[in-house]
């Protein structure tokens, strides 16, 4: 266990939680075992999947149980249908799905669409960036910024966004919703 007292479990599924006892039961799919763990803070990420209508289409890769659109993970262009592009929660990328990831993906798709229409090479590449804000207290947040291999990928170099701060909380509460609704979804961020 890391010195922070945190523990990351991959290839695992949360199968039960006892909030009163602060216990969580985890099934490790790789080892085919279950484990009962004590916790102080539990951050559980639910399984992600595409909507049923997308799963039922020809766009996901054969055998992809999540039903995500089969794309080149850097250019975000479909591997079998070159006139199809995907990003965000529908794209078959290896990153964690987030608004921060969408912001980076939007720029890649926009640049590559322009290049494709002009018959030029697709030079814009998505690097797997994502960000997950974790509320630590009533007025502090930590921004975990990372790539699709969980390596730190801070947006602003030398600014330790992984430290909890009140400023991060204000940004997450007040600024990010405005950026998402008014800029990202309109292709301006």
The domain ranges of the chain are 1-44
pTM for the whole structure = 0.75
Task: Categorize the per-residue pLDDT at 158 as very low, low, confident or very high, splitting at 50, 70 and 90.
Answer: confident
Residue 145: CB atoms within 10 A of its CB come to: 19
What integer pLDDT is reported at residue 162 of this predicted model? 73
**Minimal CA–CA distance to 93: which of 148, 154, 150, 151?**
148
What integer pLDDT is reported at residue 1 of this predicted model? 34
What integer pLDDT is reported at residue 6 of this predicted model? 67
CB 103 within 8 A of CB 120: no
What integer pLDDT is reported at residue 30 of this predicted model? 86
- For 182, the token pair is 């008014």
Q: What percent of the chain has pLDDT over 70?
A: 95
What integer pLDDT is reported at residue 85 of this predicted model? 97
- For 2, the token pair is 């890391």
Task: Categorize the per-residue pLDDT at 4 as very low, low, confident or very high, splitting at 50, 70 and 90.
Answer: low
Residue 175 pLDDT greater than 70, yes or no: yes
Residue 156 pLDDT greater than 90, yes or no: no
What integer pLDDT is reported at residue 172 of this predicted model? 86
Q: Which are the contacts of 137, defined by CB distance < 8 A and separation ≥ 6?
A: 164
Q: What is the mean pLDDT of residues 22-27?
A: 94
β-strand pairing of 23-28 with 33-38: antiparallel
Q: For residue range 127-145, what is the model confidence (pLDDT) as tens digits?
A: 999 988 888 888 988 888 8
What integer pLDDT is reported at residue 146 of this predicted model? 87
Q: For residue range 40-85, what is the model confidence (pLDDT) as tens digits?
A: 888 777 778 899 999 999 999 988 888 999 999 999 999 999 999 9
């Amino acid at each position: 266990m890391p010195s922070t007292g945190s523990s990351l479990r991959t290839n695992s599924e949360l199968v039960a939680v006892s909030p009163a006892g602060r216990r969580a039961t985890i099934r490790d799919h790789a080892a085919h075992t279950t484990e009962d763990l004590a916790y102080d803070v539990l951050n559980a990420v639910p399984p992600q999947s595409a909507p049923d209508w997308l799963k039922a289409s020809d766009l996901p890769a054969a055998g992809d149980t999540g039903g995500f659109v089969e794309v080149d993970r850097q250019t975000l262009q479909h591997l079998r249908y070159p006139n199809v592009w995907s990003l965000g929660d529908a794209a078959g990328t290896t990153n964690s799905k987030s608004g921060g990831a969408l912001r980076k993906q939007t720029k890649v798709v926009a640049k590559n669409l322009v290049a494709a229409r002009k018959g030029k090479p697709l030079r814009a590449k998505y690097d797997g960036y994502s960000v997950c804000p974790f509320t630590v207290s009533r007025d502090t947040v930590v921004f975990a910024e990372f790539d699709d291999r969980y390596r730190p990928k801070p947006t602003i170099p030398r600014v330790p966004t992984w430290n909890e701060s009140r400023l991060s909380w204000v940004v997450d509460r007040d600024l990010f919703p405005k950026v998402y609704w008014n800029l990202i979804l309109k292709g301006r961020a």
